[in-house]
Chain A
Amino acid sequence: MAVAWWQIILLTLYAGYQILDELQVYTGLAQPVFAGLVAGLIMGDVTTGLIIGGSMQLTVLGIGTFGGSSKIDANSGTVLATAFSVGIGMNPEQAIAAIAVPVAGLMIQMDILGRFANTFFAHRIDTKIEEMDYKGIERNYLMGALSWSLSRAIPVLLALSLGGSFVNSIVSVLNNQLLWLGNGLAVAGAVLPAVGFAILLRYLPVKKHLPYLILGFVITALLTTVFGNIQVLGGSVAGVVEGFANTFTGMPMLAIALIGFAFAFKEYKRTTEAPKFQQMNGSVSEEGEIEDDEI
């Protein structure tokens, strides 16, 4: 058993807290990328946590709980995958596909259970309204927090306490007898973000903004290739030439986001100031001409 008891307790507490965070203040702690960060901190390997959390984040981008539909629980999946990946030494990308995604899928049932449990409290509140018992209304309302957090904390606790040896045997099989499957899981972990992107595209008005989808893709594809190749070149040259101390960084995503922001800003200007546009064009050029006439 490679996950220590105090780590299990901390991870369980986090799993119970994160769902409440999502329901209320929404600090972001209830996002898979933070689940990875927190679980990584607890397990003492932040990098692995961030890799798993980041990949899960991309996989569920744009899956919101619209109108109370249950979504897959990427957070619990991330917590377990990180714990076992660090604790037992599983490749993070394998852990995403082999642990995080199946766990996230199974946890949907727990979400439904939690949402059902609260119906009971809603009826208790009806009774308390009849009795004019204000404290009772508030008490029964806040009890809802219990069903929410237990629906996440209990499964995580059980899985962490009992799952260690099971995961251990899976890891050894994947790296020996079923190597093709082990590699396949790692590839699947790399492909999964595609689902998150496709869901977002279903949700955003793609047809209306199609030119910008093309621009975003092509600009980034070209730059990321250029940056990537320069890094490879730099690495090779540094290996051959002594005193070559330049390190080349990868493509900064924020720069791409700023290009997109510029397009968006233009669009906003265009839609809000459409009628004024023609008047502004005239005055500027006239001033320029007046100065010429004074010769």
Chain B
Amino acid sequence: MTKSNYKLTKKDFNQINRRSLFGFQLGWNYERMQGSGYLYTILPQLRKMYGDGTPELKSMMKTHSQFFNTSNFLNTIVTGIDMAIEEEEGIAGQESIAGLKVGLMGPFAAIGDSIFGALLPTIFGALAANMAVNGNPIGALIWMLVNFAVMFFRWKQLEIAHKEGVSLVTTMQSRLTAITDAATLLGVFMVGALVATMINVRLSWTPVIGDLVIDVQNNVDMIMPRLLPAVIVGAVYWLLGKKNITSTKAIFIVLVVSIALSALGVISK
């Protein structure tokens, strides 16, 4: 059991961050997903720790090229904790590191996906899209600035995770839950707002009773403005809850049904 005495420097952190930011998912594949990407981000540091050509290095490289998949926004938190342990334990920590990686990738994937995959796009993507359909690129540029801010945090989290080690996961837990809870609230609120503004179709159905023409849309507006968009979203929501309906299928079903209803003169723009 050789204990490596190499300690990571600022330069190493920068190198890991560079490799993570510009290449973490390039090698994504079905078999190992981000496995080889994980190895790629820390390869230079592994070589410094275990020394080129040693059997320890080879065995560690194999460990780090195994299956791995987490949020590509939070992956360096796992890397940081992993590196802290390897500095201490070296090859002796091989099994605990493999276990730690498998244990952490799930929770961080869930947190990362909900924050970066759902919430930010809801809030900023919606703003950007809302302005874009009116021909205004400002919203898109604001979103880009937000993404640069996210990048800044991605750059910082590696060192924090390395310093705090495993305890970080427990201390973050309660605060993250509160933030995620508040953020999902904002997300839900915004979706409600989007439903009311972004689906611009109206009922064009005007039944005639005797010599009275009934403007259905007008009557619906008296009950609740923007009711039709809400009903449409509700219907798609229900549809998505069905078995074997993927988002792609839902998009094509909506496409066909909209064309049919438009041809029948029920809805129009």
Q: List chain A residues, Cβ under 8 A from B181.
A: 267-268, 271
Q: List chain B residues, Cβ under 8 A from A181.
A: 259, 263
Q: Which of A29, A34, A217 has the most CB of B within 10 A?
A: A217
Known: A25-B22, A121-B29. A200 touches B191 (CB 8 A): yes
Contact B198 A58 (CB under 8 A): yes
Complex formed: what's the CA distance from A142 to B128 in Å?
32
Complex formed: what's the CA distance from A29 to B140 in Å?
9
Known: A31-B143, A224-B197. A132 touches B189 (CB 8 A): no
Q: List chain B residues, Cβ under 8 A from A203.
A: 114, 118
Chain A interface residues (CB < 8 Å from chain B): 20, 23-29, 31, 33-34, 36-37, 46-47, 50-51, 53-55, 57-64, 66-68, 71-72, 93, 97, 101, 105, 108, 115-119, 121-122, 125-126, 129-130, 132, 134, 137-138, 141-142, 144-145, 148, 180-181, 183-188, 190-195, 197-206, 208-210, 212-222, 224-225, 250-251, 253-254, 256-257, 259-261, 263-265, 267-268, 271-272
Shortest Cβ-Cβ A-B pairs, 9 listed: A216-B192, A54-B132, A64-B117, A184-B259, A118-B29, A260-B189, A217-B192, A188-B258, A198-B236
B179 interfacial contact with A, CB 8 Å: yes
Contact B184 A260 (CB under 8 A): no
Q: List chain A residues, Cβ under 8 A from B40.
A: 137-138, 141
Complex formed: what's the CA distance from A259 to B193 in Å?
11
Contact A62 B23 (CB under 8 A): no
Closest chain A residue to B132, Cβ basis: A54
Q: List chain A residues, Cβ under 8 A from B114.
A: 203
Contact A212 B189 (CB under 8 A): yes
Q: Mark B248-260, 1 if CB is under 8 A from A, else 0.
A: 1011101100111
Contact B188 A216 (CB under 8 A): yes
Complex formed: what's the CA distance from A116 to B32 in Å?
11
- Kindly state the interface size class of chain B when it binds its partner: 35 or more
B268 interfacial contact with A, CB 8 Å: yes
B168 interfacial contact with A, CB 8 Å: no
Contact A62 B122 (CB under 8 A): yes
Contact B179 A37 (CB under 8 A): no
Complex formed: what's the CA distance from A192 to B247 in Å?
12
Closest chain B residue to A142, Cβ basis: B26
Q: List chain B residues, Cβ under 8 A from A190.
A: 199-201, 269
